[in-house]
Each structure stands twice: as structure tokens, then as C-alpha cells.
């Protein structure tokens, strides 16, 4: 039941993100979608509670944080769009730099938990991601966020906010880059502009989904949209409708992982040739 909810959310989220609407409209639509999805999840959990502790941990660690993190992200995005200076590039840049400092302070305050999650540890998941009455919440969310104490573990909200802040960083970097078009000083650290993805975009989609399925990035904490956005930045490419492309890959009559198999075969051949010498 919850799987269907997540799949429906994922599809509707894709439509919002890929729409031609401005950031403010996307944020408003996204907040509505996330609130509706979380309310639906809450109702289903109340009707059918978890059968086992691992099921409860999986929900509060991996399922609920998906819409929750996007709710936090869209809330921060909407607030940012409303508060940012309307004129003056220097004022706007100063505003975004201040927002970035706030994010860095947030990560610094929660360094231990961030490290626990990003290292893939699980030894105290039963404390972080179950509704233990003795748990205390690590921070108080903004009133614009969504929270029901009976529908929360001690750290699922914090984990969702960490995931949201990674997305928010991407938004800020993109906004600052647009303001600094032609300014090579601010983004001098991005030396990878010479790298262009020259294979088909379907091949890149295979790679992105393979990394996502393997939990290879942020110890499984990075979702498809975050990975795709990072690849767009790194390889200077626009990935259009990645979910549709993935659906087409699944419908292939021949190999569904053609590019990944070619990668493996070419690497094996290279190693074999080098070993011969």
C-alpha cells in the first residue's frame, strides 16, 4: 500500500519539477503534493501499523523522509524566493551567500548524525527510527513544516531535513551561477566544465539508476532527482524526463542494461590486455 503511495508521489513530483512554471509556483504545488502524500501515509500507518521493528525502521528511515524532505525543500525554496532582493545583483548574491552559511551551520550542528547516516551505520537505527516514547526530538521544525508526534520517530525529521538541504544547496548554487554569468572567480573551483557527456542520454540514465539502486552515493541517501541534477552540473548536460527514459529502458525487448554491460565488457577487455603484457 505504501509502495503505491510512493510511486504516485514520485510521478506527480516529476511533473512538478519538469514543468515550465517558475520556482515559486513549483514550490507551492510541491508543498501541496507533499502534505497530501504525508497525510495519506499517516492514515495508512494508523490503519495498518507495522508488523515488525525492521518495517518501522525502514518506513521512518527510507519511505517517509522522501516526501518529508521535499516538503522541507519546497518550503525553504518558497521562503527564499519570497525573501530574496528583487533588484541589485550584488544584494542578491549577498543574500544567497548568507543562506549558504545558514546551511553550513546546520550541517555543523548535526555533524555526528550526518556522519552516522552518510557512513551507512545502522547500529542505533532502533533509537533513531522507531516511535520510542523515550525519544526526544533533536530540533524543532519550522511551523511551515509538517509533523505529527504520533507519526514521527526521533530522527526521521532531521534526516529528511538533511536530504532537503542537499537539494537546497543545489538550488542556491544554480541561482548564484546565473547571477554570476561570465564570472569565473566565484565558481573557479568547478574545473569540470571541459567534461561533456557524449554517449546517449539513455546510457546516462542507466548509470544514474545503477548508482541509485546500489546506494553508491551518500550511502543510499541520494534520490534520483539529486543524482540527476549533480550529473547535469558535472557533465554540462540537460537530462530531460529521466523517469520516462527509465520506463522506456524497462520496456526494451533486448538487454535492459546495454550501456552498463558494455562498460563492464570494455573494462574487462582492457584489464585482460594489460595482464597479457
From first to last of the 277 residues of the chain, give the pLDDT tens digit.
566 678 888 889 989 988 888 999 999 999 999 999 999 999 888 888 888 999 999 999 989 999 999 999 999 999 999 998 888 888 888 899 999 999 989 988 898 898 888 778 889 999 899 886 554 544 444 444 455 667 888 899 999 999 999 889 988 988 888 887 545 444 444 444 457 788 888 999 999 999 998 888 877 778 888 888 888 877 767 787 888 888 889 998 888 999 999 999 999 988 988 888 6
Amino acid 114: pLDDT: 87
Q: Which residues contact 47 (CB under 8 A, 6 or more apart)?
A: none
pTM exceeds 0.75, yes or no: no
CB–CB of 112/6 below 8 Å?
no
The rounded distance, in Å, linking the Cα atoms of 242 and 221 is: 19
Amino acid at each position: 500500500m505504501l509502495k503505491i503511495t510512493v510511486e504516485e508521489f514520485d510521478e506527480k513530483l516529476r511533473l512538478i519539477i519538469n514543468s515550465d512554471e517558475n520556482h515559486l509556483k513549483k514550490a507551492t504545488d510541491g508543498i501541496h503534493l507533499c502534505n497530501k502524500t504525508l497525510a495519506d501515509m499517516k492514515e495508512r500507518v494508523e490503519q495498518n501499523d507495522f508488523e515488525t521493528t525492521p518495517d518501522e525502521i525502514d518506513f521512518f528511515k527510507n519511505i517517509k523522509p522522501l516526501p518529508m524532505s521535499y516538503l522541507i525543500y519546497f518550503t525553504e525554496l518558497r521562503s527564499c524566493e519570497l525573501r530574496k532582493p528583487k533588484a541589485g545583483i550584488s544584494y542578491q548574491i549577498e543574500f544567497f551567500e548568507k543562506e549558504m552559511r545558514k546551511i553550513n551551520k546546520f550541517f555543523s550542528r548535526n555533524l555526528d548524525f550526518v556522519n552516522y547516516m552518510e557512513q551507512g551505520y545502522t547500529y542505533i537505527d532502533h533509537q533513531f527510527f522507531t516511535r520510542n516514547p523515550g525519544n526526544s526530538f533533536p530540533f524543532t521544525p519550522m511551523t511551515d513544516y509538517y509533523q505529527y508526534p504520533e507519526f514521527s520517530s526521533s530522527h526521521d525529521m532531521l534526516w529528511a531535513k538533511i536530504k532537503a538541504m542537499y537539494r537546497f544547496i543545489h538550488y542556491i548554487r544554480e541561482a548564484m551561477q546565473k547571477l554570476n554569468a561570465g564570472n569565473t572567480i566565484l565558481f573557479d573551483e568547478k574545473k569540470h566544465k571541459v567534461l561533456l557527456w557524449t554517449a546517449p542520454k539513455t546510457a546516462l540514465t542507466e548509470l544514474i539508476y545503477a548508482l541509485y539502486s546500489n546506494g553508491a552515493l551518500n550511502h543510499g541517501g541520494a534520490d534520483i532527482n539529486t543524482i540527476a541534477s549533480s550529473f547535469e552540473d558535472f557533465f554540462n548536460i540537460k537530462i530531460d524526463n529521466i523517469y520516462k527514459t527509465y520506463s522506456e529502458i524497462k520496456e526494451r525487448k533486448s538487454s535492459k542494461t546495454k550501456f552498463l554491460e558494455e562498460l563492464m565488457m570494455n573494462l574487462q577487455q582492457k584489464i585482460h590486455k594489460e595482464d597479457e603484457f
